[in-house]
Structure 1
Amino acid sequence: MDLKKVLIIEDEKSISDIIKFNLIKEGFEVETSYDGKDGLNKAETLNPDLILLDVMLPMLDGFQVCKKVRQTSSVPILMLTAKEEEVDKVLGLELGADDYITKPFGMRELVARIKANIRRTDLIDKLKKEPSNIKDFGTLAIDLNRYEVRKNDLPLELTLREFELLKYLAERENKVFSREQLLEEVWGYEYYGDIRTVDVTVRRLREKLEDDSSDPKYIMTKRGIGYYFRRP
Protein backbone atom coordinates (compact mmCIF):
# COMPACT_ATOMS: atom_id res chain seq x y z
CA MET A 1 0.00 0.00 0.00
CA ASP A 2 1.31 3.43 -0.92
CA LEU A 3 2.31 5.60 2.01
CA LYS A 4 0.40 8.83 2.50
CA LYS A 5 2.61 11.84 1.81
CA VAL A 6 2.66 14.89 4.07
CA LEU A 7 4.42 18.10 3.06
CA ILE A 8 5.62 20.16 6.02
CA ILE A 9 6.23 23.84 5.23
CA GLU A 10 7.78 25.21 8.43
CA ASP A 11 10.81 27.48 8.70
CA GLU A 12 11.78 26.43 12.24
CA LYS A 13 13.88 23.35 11.52
CA SER A 14 13.66 22.03 15.08
CA ILE A 15 9.84 21.98 14.88
CA SER A 16 9.86 20.53 11.38
CA ASP A 17 12.28 17.77 12.39
CA ILE A 18 10.28 16.59 15.38
CA ILE A 19 7.03 16.58 13.35
CA LYS A 20 8.77 14.67 10.57
CA PHE A 21 10.18 12.12 13.03
CA ASN A 22 6.76 11.44 14.54
CA LEU A 23 4.95 11.24 11.22
CA ILE A 24 7.47 8.78 9.80
CA LYS A 25 7.00 6.70 12.95
CA GLU A 26 3.24 6.75 12.22
CA GLY A 27 3.83 5.41 8.72
CA PHE A 28 3.75 8.58 6.60
CA GLU A 29 6.09 9.63 3.85
CA VAL A 30 7.28 13.15 4.68
CA GLU A 31 8.71 16.00 2.61
CA THR A 32 9.88 19.26 4.17
CA SER A 33 10.37 22.85 3.10
CA TYR A 34 11.65 25.84 5.06
CA ASP A 35 10.26 28.78 3.08
CA GLY A 36 7.03 29.62 1.29
CA LYS A 37 8.41 29.82 -2.23
CA ASP A 38 10.05 26.40 -2.10
CA GLY A 39 7.04 25.02 -0.25
CA LEU A 40 4.67 26.20 -2.98
CA ASN A 41 6.86 24.63 -5.62
CA LYS A 42 6.87 21.30 -3.76
CA ALA A 43 3.11 21.50 -3.20
CA GLU A 44 2.66 21.80 -6.97
CA THR A 45 5.14 19.09 -7.98
CA LEU A 46 5.07 16.43 -5.25
CA ASN A 47 1.29 15.91 -5.11
CA PRO A 48 1.12 15.49 -1.31
CA ASP A 49 -1.91 14.00 0.45
CA LEU A 50 -1.84 16.81 3.03
CA ILE A 51 0.06 20.06 3.56
CA LEU A 52 1.06 21.17 7.04
CA LEU A 53 1.57 24.90 6.59
CA ASP A 54 3.03 27.43 9.00
CA VAL A 55 1.72 31.00 8.82
CA MET A 56 5.00 32.83 9.39
CA LEU A 57 7.38 31.91 6.56
CA PRO A 58 10.15 33.65 4.61
CA MET A 59 9.77 34.39 0.88
CA LEU A 60 6.00 33.80 0.84
CA ASP A 61 3.92 33.65 4.00
CA GLY A 62 1.51 30.82 4.72
CA PHE A 63 -1.51 32.82 3.63
CA GLN A 64 0.00 33.47 0.20
CA VAL A 65 0.93 29.80 -0.17
CA CYS A 66 -2.55 28.68 0.87
CA LYS A 67 -4.23 31.03 -1.58
CA LYS A 68 -2.03 29.92 -4.49
CA VAL A 69 -2.41 26.21 -3.71
CA ARG A 70 -6.19 26.59 -3.59
CA GLN A 71 -6.23 27.99 -7.11
CA THR A 72 -5.29 24.57 -8.50
CA SER A 73 -5.70 21.95 -5.77
CA SER A 74 -8.15 20.69 -3.15
CA VAL A 75 -5.42 18.97 -1.09
CA PRO A 76 -6.17 19.23 2.66
CA ILE A 77 -4.27 22.15 4.25
CA LEU A 78 -3.68 22.17 8.00
CA MET A 79 -2.29 25.53 9.14
CA LEU A 80 -0.01 26.10 12.13
CA THR A 81 -0.87 29.36 13.88
CA ALA A 82 0.43 31.26 16.88
CA LYS A 83 -1.78 30.79 19.93
CA GLU A 84 -2.48 34.48 20.44
CA GLU A 85 -3.21 35.28 16.79
CA GLU A 86 -6.89 34.46 16.36
CA VAL A 87 -6.97 36.58 13.21
CA ASP A 88 -4.51 34.15 11.60
CA LYS A 89 -6.95 31.28 12.07
CA VAL A 90 -9.87 33.16 10.56
CA LEU A 91 -7.85 34.44 7.60
CA GLY A 92 -6.45 30.97 6.91
CA LEU A 93 -9.96 29.54 6.76
CA GLU A 94 -11.09 32.41 4.57
CA LEU A 95 -8.34 31.51 2.09
CA GLY A 96 -9.36 27.87 1.95
CA ALA A 97 -7.44 26.06 4.70
CA ASP A 98 -9.31 23.00 5.94
CA ASP A 99 -8.13 23.12 9.54
CA TYR A 100 -5.69 24.78 11.90
CA ILE A 101 -3.79 23.89 15.03
CA THR A 102 -2.21 26.37 17.43
CA LYS A 103 1.34 26.38 18.71
CA PRO A 104 2.38 24.92 21.04
CA PHE A 105 0.53 21.71 20.22
CA GLY A 106 0.68 18.10 21.35
CA MET A 107 2.03 15.64 18.83
CA ARG A 108 -0.82 13.22 19.48
CA GLU A 109 -3.37 15.90 18.59
CA LEU A 110 -1.45 16.91 15.47
CA VAL A 111 -1.22 13.33 14.21
CA ALA A 112 -4.94 12.82 14.92
CA ARG A 113 -5.82 15.94 12.92
CA ILE A 114 -3.65 14.82 9.99
CA LYS A 115 -5.16 11.33 9.95
CA ALA A 116 -8.72 12.69 10.19
CA ASN A 117 -8.24 15.03 7.23
CA ILE A 118 -6.62 12.36 5.05
CA ARG A 119 -9.32 9.79 5.93
CA ARG A 120 -11.96 12.28 4.88
CA THR A 121 -10.27 12.81 1.52
CA ASP A 122 -9.95 9.06 0.96
CA LEU A 123 -13.66 8.61 1.69
CA ILE A 124 -14.58 11.29 -0.81
CA ASP A 125 -12.40 9.70 -3.50
CA LYS A 126 -14.27 6.44 -2.91
CA LEU A 127 -17.67 8.13 -2.99
CA LYS A 128 -16.87 9.88 -6.27
CA LYS A 129 -16.84 6.46 -7.94
CA GLU A 130 -20.41 5.82 -6.82
CA PRO A 131 -23.46 6.61 -8.99
CA SER A 132 -24.79 10.17 -8.83
CA ASN A 133 -27.05 11.01 -5.91
CA ILE A 134 -28.38 14.47 -6.68
CA LYS A 135 -30.52 16.66 -4.46
CA ASP A 136 -32.23 19.22 -6.64
CA PHE A 137 -33.06 22.65 -5.24
CA GLY A 138 -34.12 24.35 -8.44
CA THR A 139 -31.16 26.32 -9.72
CA LEU A 140 -28.90 24.53 -7.22
CA ALA A 141 -27.99 20.83 -7.58
CA ILE A 142 -25.89 18.96 -5.03
CA ASP A 143 -24.43 15.56 -5.91
CA LEU A 144 -24.03 13.99 -2.48
CA ASN A 145 -21.88 11.11 -3.73
CA ARG A 146 -19.59 12.88 -6.15
CA TYR A 147 -19.09 15.96 -4.01
CA GLU A 148 -20.12 18.25 -6.84
CA VAL A 149 -22.32 21.34 -6.76
CA ARG A 150 -23.81 23.09 -9.75
CA LYS A 151 -25.70 26.37 -9.88
CA ASN A 152 -27.60 27.24 -13.04
CA ASP A 153 -25.87 24.13 -14.44
CA LEU A 154 -22.40 25.65 -13.87
CA PRO A 155 -19.97 23.91 -11.48
CA LEU A 156 -19.04 25.61 -8.21
CA GLU A 157 -15.59 25.16 -6.71
CA LEU A 158 -16.03 24.33 -3.02
CA THR A 159 -13.41 23.24 -0.55
CA LEU A 160 -13.94 19.94 1.21
CA ARG A 161 -15.10 21.66 4.41
CA GLU A 162 -17.51 23.88 2.51
CA PHE A 163 -19.05 20.94 0.72
CA GLU A 164 -19.35 18.85 3.86
CA LEU A 165 -21.12 21.67 5.69
CA LEU A 166 -23.46 22.26 2.75
CA LYS A 167 -24.19 18.54 2.44
CA TYR A 168 -24.88 18.16 6.15
CA LEU A 169 -27.35 21.05 6.21
CA ALA A 170 -29.00 20.26 2.86
CA GLU A 171 -29.73 16.68 3.93
CA ARG A 172 -31.54 18.09 6.98
CA GLU A 173 -33.64 20.87 5.46
CA ASN A 174 -35.09 23.43 7.88
CA LYS A 175 -33.44 21.87 10.93
CA VAL A 176 -31.44 24.42 12.93
CA PHE A 177 -28.01 23.48 14.24
CA SER A 178 -25.86 25.40 16.70
CA ARG A 179 -22.28 26.22 15.80
CA GLU A 180 -21.11 23.75 18.44
CA GLN A 181 -23.21 20.97 16.90
CA LEU A 182 -21.84 21.70 13.44
CA LEU A 183 -18.26 21.67 14.69
CA GLU A 184 -18.83 18.28 16.26
CA GLU A 185 -20.78 16.72 13.39
CA VAL A 186 -19.10 18.20 10.31
CA TRP A 187 -15.53 18.59 11.47
CA GLY A 188 -15.80 15.07 12.83
CA TYR A 189 -13.70 15.11 15.99
CA GLU A 190 -13.34 17.08 19.18
CA TYR A 191 -12.53 20.51 17.82
CA TYR A 192 -10.18 22.75 19.74
CA GLY A 193 -10.84 25.85 17.70
CA ASP A 194 -13.51 28.43 18.30
CA ILE A 195 -16.98 28.57 16.81
CA ARG A 196 -15.98 31.31 14.38
CA THR A 197 -14.70 28.47 12.22
CA VAL A 198 -18.34 27.74 11.34
CA ASP A 199 -19.13 31.41 10.69
CA VAL A 200 -16.18 31.73 8.31
CA THR A 201 -17.14 28.60 6.39
CA VAL A 202 -20.77 29.73 6.12
CA ARG A 203 -19.63 33.12 4.84
CA ARG A 204 -17.46 31.49 2.17
CA LEU A 205 -20.31 29.19 1.16
CA ARG A 206 -22.75 32.07 0.83
CA GLU A 207 -20.32 33.96 -1.39
CA LYS A 208 -20.29 30.99 -3.77
CA LEU A 209 -23.92 29.84 -3.54
CA GLU A 210 -25.94 32.99 -3.24
CA ASP A 211 -26.79 35.67 -5.79
CA ASP A 212 -26.42 38.15 -2.93
CA SER A 213 -24.48 36.82 0.07
CA SER A 214 -25.93 39.56 2.28
CA ASP A 215 -29.45 38.33 1.49
CA PRO A 216 -29.09 34.53 1.51
CA LYS A 217 -31.74 32.17 0.14
CA TYR A 218 -30.18 28.80 1.01
CA ILE A 219 -28.12 28.89 4.19
CA MET A 220 -30.08 30.83 6.76
CA THR A 221 -29.20 32.20 10.18
CA LYS A 222 -31.39 31.57 13.21
CA ARG A 223 -30.40 34.48 15.40
CA GLY A 224 -28.88 33.42 18.69
CA ILE A 225 -28.93 29.72 17.74
CA GLY A 226 -27.12 28.78 14.54
CA TYR A 227 -27.74 27.89 10.90
CA TYR A 228 -30.12 25.89 8.73
CA PHE A 229 -30.68 25.10 5.04
CA ARG A 230 -33.86 26.34 3.38
CA ARG A 231 -35.24 25.33 0.00
CA PRO A 232 -36.02 28.61 -1.83
Structure 2
Amino acid sequence: MNTRILFVGHDPAAFGMLSDFLESRGMAVYVLDGGRSLIRYMKQDMPSLIVLRDGTPNVQATTILQTLHNAGHDTPVIVIGYPKDAVDAIICLELGAEDYLRMPCDSHELLARIHNVLRRRLQNGQSLLPGLGKFQLGSIALDLRAQEVTRDGRPVTLHPSLFPLLRLFVEHPLTVLSRRTIVAKLRDTPVGYSERSLDVLVWRLRQVLEPDPSLPRFIQTIRGRGYVFSPSGTGSHPTDFDEPDATLQPPPASRRTDQHPQAIPL
Protein backbone atom coordinates (compact mmCIF):
# COMPACT_ATOMS: atom_id res chain seq x y z
CA MET A 1 0.00 0.00 0.00
CA ASN A 2 1.63 3.25 -1.14
CA THR A 3 -1.03 5.73 0.06
CA ARG A 4 -0.49 6.40 3.77
CA ILE A 5 -3.18 8.32 5.65
CA LEU A 6 -2.47 9.79 9.09
CA PHE A 7 -5.49 10.38 11.35
CA VAL A 8 -4.96 12.88 14.17
CA GLY A 9 -7.48 13.07 16.99
CA HIS A 10 -8.77 11.16 19.99
CA ASP A 11 -11.92 9.58 18.58
CA PRO A 12 -11.45 5.77 18.62
CA ALA A 13 -14.98 4.90 17.54
CA ALA A 14 -15.09 7.15 14.49
CA PHE A 15 -11.49 6.50 13.49
CA GLY A 16 -11.93 2.76 13.89
CA MET A 17 -14.74 2.61 11.34
CA LEU A 18 -13.15 5.09 8.95
CA SER A 19 -9.70 3.52 9.08
CA ASP A 20 -11.08 0.01 8.55
CA PHE A 21 -12.97 1.24 5.49
CA LEU A 22 -9.95 3.03 4.00
CA GLU A 23 -7.70 0.02 4.63
CA SER A 24 -10.23 -2.17 2.82
CA ARG A 25 -9.70 0.17 -0.15
CA GLY A 26 -5.93 -0.41 -0.16
CA MET A 27 -4.70 2.45 2.02
CA ALA A 28 -2.47 2.29 5.09
CA VAL A 29 -3.92 4.21 8.04
CA TYR A 30 -2.15 5.31 11.23
CA VAL A 31 -3.60 7.23 14.18
CA LEU A 32 -2.01 9.79 16.52
CA ASP A 33 -3.76 11.45 19.44
CA GLY A 34 -2.77 15.08 19.05
CA GLY A 35 -0.85 17.91 17.43
CA ARG A 36 2.38 17.46 19.35
CA SER A 37 2.43 13.79 18.38
CA LEU A 38 1.91 14.76 14.74
CA ILE A 39 4.87 17.15 14.69
CA ARG A 40 7.13 14.55 16.29
CA TYR A 41 5.98 11.92 13.80
CA MET A 42 6.66 14.15 10.79
CA LYS A 43 10.24 14.75 11.86
CA GLN A 44 10.83 11.07 11.02
CA ASP A 45 8.30 10.24 8.32
CA MET A 46 5.83 11.80 5.88
CA PRO A 47 2.31 10.53 5.16
CA SER A 48 0.52 11.01 1.85
CA LEU A 49 -2.30 12.90 3.56
CA ILE A 50 -3.37 14.01 7.05
CA VAL A 51 -6.93 13.90 8.41
CA LEU A 52 -7.49 16.18 11.42
CA ARG A 53 -10.47 15.43 13.66
CA ASP A 54 -11.08 18.99 14.84
CA GLY A 55 -12.53 19.61 18.26
CA THR A 56 -11.27 16.46 19.97
CA PRO A 57 -8.85 16.59 22.91
CA ASN A 58 -5.34 17.67 21.85
CA VAL A 59 -6.52 18.72 18.38
CA GLN A 60 -7.23 22.29 17.32
CA ALA A 61 -7.16 22.28 13.53
CA THR A 62 -6.30 25.97 13.10
CA THR A 63 -3.30 25.72 15.43
CA ILE A 64 -2.01 22.53 13.81
CA LEU A 65 -2.42 23.93 10.30
CA GLN A 66 -0.48 27.05 11.27
CA THR A 67 2.26 24.98 12.90
CA LEU A 68 2.62 22.76 9.82
CA HIS A 69 2.85 25.83 7.61
CA ASN A 70 5.48 27.46 9.83
CA ALA A 71 7.53 24.23 9.78
CA GLY A 72 7.53 24.21 5.97
CA HIS A 73 5.34 21.12 5.55
CA ASP A 74 2.99 21.02 2.57
CA THR A 75 1.39 17.65 3.24
CA PRO A 76 -2.29 17.85 2.17
CA VAL A 77 -4.72 18.09 5.09
CA ILE A 78 -8.43 17.30 5.31
CA VAL A 79 -10.28 18.55 8.40
CA ILE A 80 -13.42 16.88 9.76
CA GLY A 81 -15.41 18.33 12.63
CA TYR A 82 -18.52 20.09 13.96
CA PRO A 83 -18.03 23.73 12.91
CA LYS A 84 -20.12 26.27 14.82
CA ASP A 85 -20.64 28.15 11.58
CA ALA A 86 -19.19 28.47 8.08
CA VAL A 87 -16.41 30.75 9.38
CA ASP A 88 -14.68 27.84 11.14
CA ALA A 89 -14.38 25.88 7.90
CA ILE A 90 -13.31 28.97 5.96
CA ILE A 91 -10.50 29.72 8.42
CA CYS A 92 -9.17 26.14 8.10
CA LEU A 93 -9.24 26.40 4.31
CA GLU A 94 -7.46 29.75 4.39
CA LEU A 95 -4.78 28.23 6.65
CA GLY A 96 -4.02 25.59 4.02
CA ALA A 97 -6.49 22.73 4.52
CA GLU A 98 -7.40 21.08 1.22
CA ASP A 99 -10.94 20.25 2.33
CA TYR A 100 -13.36 20.41 5.27
CA LEU A 101 -15.97 17.75 6.04
CA ARG A 102 -18.71 18.13 8.62
CA MET A 103 -19.48 15.37 11.09
CA PRO A 104 -20.96 12.83 10.94
CA CYS A 105 -18.50 11.91 8.22
CA ASP A 106 -19.56 9.32 5.64
CA SER A 107 -16.71 6.92 4.86
CA HIS A 108 -17.46 6.86 1.12
CA GLU A 109 -17.46 10.66 0.99
CA LEU A 110 -14.15 10.82 2.87
CA LEU A 111 -12.62 8.32 0.43
CA ALA A 112 -13.83 10.41 -2.53
CA ARG A 113 -12.40 13.59 -0.99
CA ILE A 114 -9.05 11.87 -0.39
CA HIS A 115 -8.94 10.67 -3.99
CA ASN A 116 -9.77 14.19 -5.22
CA VAL A 117 -7.02 15.80 -3.14
CA LEU A 118 -4.37 13.29 -4.24
CA ARG A 119 -5.53 13.53 -7.85
CA ARG A 120 -5.14 17.32 -7.79
CA ARG A 121 -1.64 16.92 -6.39
CA LEU A 122 -0.66 14.64 -9.25
CA GLN A 123 -2.23 16.92 -11.86
CA ASN A 124 -0.27 19.85 -10.45
CA GLY A 125 2.95 17.85 -10.63
CA GLN A 126 3.26 17.54 -6.86
CA SER A 127 4.53 14.45 -5.09
CA LEU A 128 2.21 12.41 -2.88
CA LEU A 129 5.02 12.59 -0.35
CA PRO A 130 5.10 16.30 0.53
CA GLY A 131 7.64 18.19 2.57
CA LEU A 132 10.52 17.14 0.31
CA GLY A 133 12.32 20.41 0.85
CA LYS A 134 13.50 19.24 4.26
CA PHE A 135 13.53 15.70 5.59
CA GLN A 136 14.87 14.08 8.74
CA LEU A 137 16.47 10.60 8.94
CA GLY A 138 17.53 10.12 12.54
CA SER A 139 20.48 12.47 13.09
CA ILE A 140 20.68 13.21 9.34
CA ALA A 141 18.86 16.29 7.99
CA LEU A 142 18.27 16.51 4.23
CA ASP A 143 17.48 19.63 2.24
CA LEU A 144 16.86 18.25 -1.23
CA ARG A 145 16.08 21.59 -2.83
CA ALA A 146 19.33 23.12 -1.59
CA GLN A 147 21.16 19.77 -2.01
CA GLU A 148 22.53 19.93 1.53
CA VAL A 149 23.05 17.19 4.10
CA THR A 150 23.89 17.68 7.77
CA ARG A 151 24.50 15.27 10.64
CA ASP A 152 23.76 16.69 14.09
CA GLY A 153 23.85 20.14 12.50
CA ARG A 154 27.26 19.66 10.84
CA PRO A 155 27.57 19.70 7.02
CA VAL A 156 28.15 16.34 5.33
CA THR A 157 29.56 16.06 1.82
CA LEU A 158 27.31 14.24 -0.65
CA HIS A 159 28.20 14.27 -4.33
CA PRO A 160 25.51 16.12 -6.39
CA SER A 161 25.12 13.06 -8.63
CA LEU A 162 23.57 11.17 -5.71
CA PHE A 163 20.74 13.62 -5.03
CA PRO A 164 18.45 12.40 -7.87
CA LEU A 165 18.70 8.87 -6.47
CA LEU A 166 18.13 10.09 -2.90
CA ARG A 167 15.09 12.11 -3.96
CA LEU A 168 13.66 9.09 -5.78
CA PHE A 169 13.90 6.99 -2.62
CA VAL A 170 12.33 9.72 -0.47
CA GLU A 171 9.45 10.12 -2.93
CA HIS A 172 8.69 6.37 -2.85
CA PRO A 173 8.82 5.29 0.81
CA LEU A 174 8.20 1.63 1.66
CA THR A 175 7.96 0.79 -2.04
CA VAL A 176 10.15 -1.87 -3.60
CA LEU A 177 11.93 -0.31 -6.59
CA SER A 178 13.64 -2.64 -9.03
CA ARG A 179 16.97 -1.65 -10.52
CA ARG A 180 15.32 -1.35 -13.93
CA THR A 181 12.63 0.95 -12.51
CA ILE A 182 15.18 3.19 -10.80
CA VAL A 183 17.28 3.52 -13.95
CA ALA A 184 14.16 4.26 -16.03
CA LYS A 185 12.94 6.96 -13.64
CA LEU A 186 16.37 8.62 -13.57
CA ARG A 187 16.99 8.28 -17.29
CA ASP A 188 16.57 12.03 -17.94
CA THR A 189 19.02 13.11 -15.22
CA PRO A 190 22.51 14.22 -16.28
CA VAL A 191 24.17 11.53 -14.16
CA GLY A 192 23.72 8.62 -16.55
CA TYR A 193 22.53 5.88 -14.19
CA SER A 194 22.82 2.26 -15.24
CA GLU A 195 21.90 -1.01 -13.57
CA ARG A 196 25.58 -1.89 -13.39
CA SER A 197 26.55 1.31 -11.53
CA LEU A 198 23.45 1.49 -9.32
CA ASP A 199 24.77 -0.77 -6.57
CA VAL A 200 27.87 1.41 -6.21
CA LEU A 201 25.75 4.57 -5.97
CA VAL A 202 23.50 2.98 -3.34
CA TRP A 203 26.61 1.95 -1.42
CA ARG A 204 27.82 5.57 -1.47
CA LEU A 205 24.46 6.81 -0.20
CA ARG A 206 24.58 4.33 2.65
CA GLN A 207 28.00 5.60 3.70
CA VAL A 208 26.39 8.96 4.39
CA LEU A 209 22.90 8.05 5.64
CA GLU A 210 23.36 4.85 7.63
CA PRO A 211 24.68 4.73 11.21
CA ASP A 212 26.21 1.38 10.25
CA PRO A 213 26.44 1.00 6.43
CA SER A 214 27.14 -2.74 6.82
CA LEU A 215 23.69 -3.11 8.44
CA PRO A 216 21.58 -0.57 6.51
CA ARG A 217 18.30 0.56 8.05
CA PHE A 218 17.09 3.25 5.65
CA ILE A 219 17.94 1.77 2.24
CA GLN A 220 17.22 -1.95 2.28
CA THR A 221 18.01 -4.55 -0.38
CA ILE A 222 15.22 -6.96 -1.29
CA ARG A 223 16.89 -9.98 -2.84
CA GLY A 224 15.89 -10.50 -6.45
CA ARG A 225 13.61 -7.45 -6.45
CA GLY A 226 15.57 -4.25 -5.82
CA TYR A 227 15.63 -1.66 -3.05
CA VAL A 228 13.14 -0.23 -0.55
CA PHE A 229 13.46 3.01 1.41
CA SER A 230 12.31 2.99 5.06
CA PRO A 231 12.08 6.63 6.29
CA SER A 232 11.80 5.65 9.96
CA GLY A 233 14.93 3.48 9.77
CA THR A 234 13.17 0.35 11.02
CA GLY A 235 14.33 -2.01 8.31
CA SER A 236 14.91 -5.61 9.35
CA HIS A 237 18.21 -7.48 9.36
CA PRO A 238 19.80 -9.06 7.48
CA THR A 239 19.84 -6.76 4.48
CA ASP A 240 18.78 -9.43 1.98
CA PHE A 241 15.35 -10.97 2.38
CA ASP A 242 14.80 -14.52 1.17
CA GLU A 243 11.03 -14.30 0.88
CA PRO A 244 9.98 -13.16 -2.60
CA ASP A 245 7.06 -11.10 -1.24
CA ALA A 246 8.89 -9.54 1.68
CA THR A 247 8.03 -5.91 2.37
CA LEU A 248 8.94 -3.51 5.12
CA GLN A 249 6.22 -2.25 7.41
CA PRO A 250 6.18 1.07 9.30
CA PRO A 251 6.99 0.90 13.02
CA PRO A 252 4.24 -0.97 14.94
CA ALA A 253 4.20 1.73 17.63
CA SER A 254 2.72 4.22 15.18
CA ARG A 255 -0.23 2.06 14.24
CA ARG A 256 -3.59 2.80 15.84
CA THR A 257 -1.91 4.54 18.76
CA ASP A 258 0.76 7.09 19.52
CA GLN A 259 4.02 6.09 21.15
CA HIS A 260 3.81 9.25 23.28
CA PRO A 261 0.52 8.75 25.13
CA GLN A 262 0.90 11.87 27.24
CA ALA A 263 1.02 14.26 24.30
CA ILE A 264 -0.55 17.65 25.00
CA PRO A 265 -2.19 20.02 22.55
CA LEU A 266 -0.11 22.56 20.67
* Rg larger for: 2
Would you tell me which structure has more strand in proportion to its own residues?
1
TM-score of the pair, normalised by structure 2: 0.44
Would you tell me which structure has more helix in proportion to its own residues?
1
Higher relative contact order (CA 8 A, sep 6+): 2
